[in-house]
Amino acid sequence: MPDPYYITTAISYPNGPPHIGHAYEAIAADTIARFHKLRGREVRFQTGTDEHGLKMARKAEEQGKTARELADEMSSKFKHMCDALHIEYDRFIRTVDDDHHRASKALWERMEARGDLYLDRYEGWYSVRDEAFYYEKELIEGEGGERLSPQGTPVEWTTEESWFFRLSKYRDALLELLRGNPDFIRPERSRNEMIAFLEGDLRDLSVSRTSFDWGVKVPGSENHVMYVWVDALTNYLTGLGFPDETDNWRKFWPADLHLIGKDIARFHTIYWPAFLMSADLPLPKQVFAHGFVLKGGQKESKSLGNVSDPLELAEMYGVDTLRYFLLREISFGQDGNWSHEAIVTRTNAELANSFGNLCQRVLSMIHKNMDGALSDYYFDGADRTLLTIVQRACRDELPEAFEQLRFSVGIEAWLRAVFACNQYVDEQAPWALKKSDPTRMAAVLQTLFIAIRDLAIAIQPVIPEKSKLVLDQLGIASERRSYDDLQDESWFGALVAKGHMIEKPAPVFPRLELSEAVA
């Protein structure tokens, strides 16, 4: 049995509705989860919302609501987004959940028992937007000369009694982790940034607040709530039943992958491993910090008024189109741009005109010219060449790239195989063989049928609904669609023996039009 696989996304702040960056992360994580399932692994996938902290408390106050009311209202929008984008999570965690408070307190108590927490006074800069403390030397100057965080957000001077975590004690261990284990954080850029941060002056971390009460109460110190990142990071443990030694805990911890955006790498690769070391718990195997989805080179933000609703895009173009576009267009780990024009142009060229057209042409011809029936046949050299190209892409190139989270590279390999199929159709011209050589026509169409089946199986993690429609039209049983089935040479014979008939196909990838409203 292959090893179980545990993947998590960041949990989002529900201080407003989800934006395209949230959708991107959820789609990428879902694609990875589906990929490992297709490879036969038992997968657990967790996502959710990060509901405590000053940012949420202030936003609720601004809106005349309680923090809990705002959290309930907005968290449900994130869950709805996941469902609408066909994100197959196993747990949608909310940090207000009772089991999460329990897990956070248990982690705190383990760090305290280790002697790593002490009471002192915090004085320093805090960004509410980032929910992060910054050193003076990290701050940058805004246009009006004001101090800003390195992320460009406002900072305020904060003075209060606080619990501290002995982060400085873990500096050498953290440096060893990042230097000695290059895969712990990817891509390389984030790793270098984190090493530079650790090489600087690493101070202990303030881990509780007394000036507001929207958070997890500190055990034995009830006028303190935990710093929101302490409880937020604990979510990865909560979902497995921590602190109980449940089956899920034994099976899935340590996590295989925390998928996050590059702005929160410090929390996941410095604070989080330090908390875990302190609590004597195993460290996650990998943190991957993806880039930002930008519009016209800019990060979307409420103040710029350029925030797009991922559900609107999914409705406009289709869920699988959006999934395909984001993973194909953006080199994973880098920032990338989206636009309506790019979605329409790319998916028309690659899905509608290339893969969609291939499926539609081949199945229509089998239906029309062969009465929908498949038969045993002999391959010739050209058929074998095509199938070798397709098999290499589907069995090796795409899975190897996806294993490395190089989605655009894997999809490109898949697409080259699709193009090879279309070229083969043009060269073999099966429509012209109907009268002159019907045996050869059947051989060509069935070679393509086999190729389409492999292509549809391989691309399932990216476009699950569309692949399902194609595989249904081909008549491939739902339990014969895994990556292992790609290795099976006997499926075609079995399908022929079963007498499966190809119905008149309905197009699966309609061409998109650029709506005038957005052009």
Stretch 73-92 residues interacting with ligand ME8 (CB under 6 A): none
Rounded least distance, CB 405 to ligand ME8, Å: 15
Nearest-angstrom CA–CA distance, 51 and 49: 6
Q: Does 263 bind ligand ME8 (CB under 6 A)?
A: yes
Would you give the end-to-end CA distance of the chain in angstroms? 51
Stretch touching ligand ME8 by CB under 6 A, among 22-30, 140-148, 422-430, 450-458: 22-30
Q: Does 264 bind ligand ME8 (CB under 6 A)?
A: yes
- Kindly tell me the sign of the dihedral angle through the C-alpha atoms of 263, 267, 268, 270: positive
Strands 208-209 and 205-206: unpaired
Rounded least distance, CB 282 to ligand ME8, Å: 18
Asked whether the beta carbons of 208 and 226 are under 8 A apart, the reply is: yes
Q: Which residues contact 460 (CB under 8 A, 6 or more apart)?
A: 34, 38, 467, 468, 481
Q: Which of 25, 30, 256, 454 binds ligand ME8 (CB under 6 A)?
A: 25
Q: Does 104 bind ligand ME8 (CB under 6 A)?
A: no
Looking at residue 502, the DSSP 8-state letter turns out to be P
Stretch 287-316 residues interacting with ligand ME8 (CB under 6 A): 292-293, 299-300
In this structure, what is the dihedral angle of CA atoms 136, 137, 139, 144, given to the nearest 10 degrees? 90
Beta bridge partners of 218: 221
Stretch touching ligand ME8 by CB under 6 A, among 10-18, 35-43, 302-310, 380-388: 10-18
Q: Which of 48, 215, 239, 261 binds ligand ME8 (CB under 6 A)?
A: 261
Q: Does 28 bind ligand ME8 (CB under 6 A)?
A: no
Nearest-angstrom CA–CA distance, 446 and 452: 10
Q: Angle CA(320)–CA(324)–CA(330) in degrees, nearest 5?
A: 150
Asked whether the beta carbons of 82 and 26 are under 8 A apart, the reply is: yes
36-75 footprint of ligand ME8 as x/- string (CB under 6 A): --------------x-------------------------
Stretch 241-260 residues interacting with ligand ME8 (CB under 6 A): 260
Q: Does 215 bind ligand ME8 (CB under 6 A)?
A: no
Q: Does 10 bind ligand ME8 (CB under 6 A)?
A: yes
Tokens of 288: 């991957």
Cis-peptide into 254, omega within 30 deg? yes
Judged by beta carbon, residue 9 or residue 347, the one nearer ligand ME8 is 9
Binding site for ligand ME8 (CB under 6 A): 10-13, 21-22, 24-25, 50, 232-233, 235, 260-261, 263-264, 292-293, 299-300
